[in-house]
Amino acid sequence: MSTGKEILNRLLSSEIKGDLLVLFHKNPGLVDTVEGVARRIGRTQGAVETDLKDLVDLGILRRKRIGKSEAISLNRARDQEIQEIVANHIRSLKMGKGV
């Protein structure tokens, strides 16, 4: 189980990951291929694969086989959990600093 600090560091580790998170948070009903997801943030499949894999490993995104293709979508329940873990971590940092 990752800590809030570890998760936050992973989420902030690349610009592409940030773009993917914004895309899926603004469009929670998006279900697309890796190529389709990449196109929607103006990137190529090769450029997003590593970051997509990391978000899938974290459980925020999930992969599902549809026919011969693999579909990527938001795991709404796990995403909610991660948001709470990150929010708690940020709160604890603020309290530690006396903010």
Packed helices 45-58 and 15-26: angle between N→C axes, nearest 10 degrees = 70
Residue 5 vs 76, nearer CB to another protein: 76
Please give the single-letter amino acid code of residue 69: S
Cα Dmax for the chain: 54
Of residues 20-39, which lie at the interface with another protein (CB under 8 A)? Answer: 26-33, 36
Contact call for residue 77 and another protein (CB under 8 A): no
Specify whether the CB–CB gap between 48 and 37 falls below 8 A.
Answer: yes
Q: Which of 65, 77, 96, 97 binds another protein (CB under 8 A)?
A: 65
Contact call for residue 43 and another protein (CB under 8 A): no
Contact call for residue 86 and another protein (CB under 8 A): no
CA distance 25 to 35: 19
Please give the single-letter amino acid code of residue 54: D
Q: Report in angstroms how near the CB of residue 30 gets to another protein at its nearest.
A: 5
Q: Phi first, then psi: give them for residue 74, nearest 5 degrees.
A: -80, 135
Contact call for residue 18 and another protein (CB under 8 A): no
Contact call for residue 97 and another protein (CB under 8 A): no
Binding site for another protein (CB under 8 A): 26-33, 36, 40, 64-69, 71
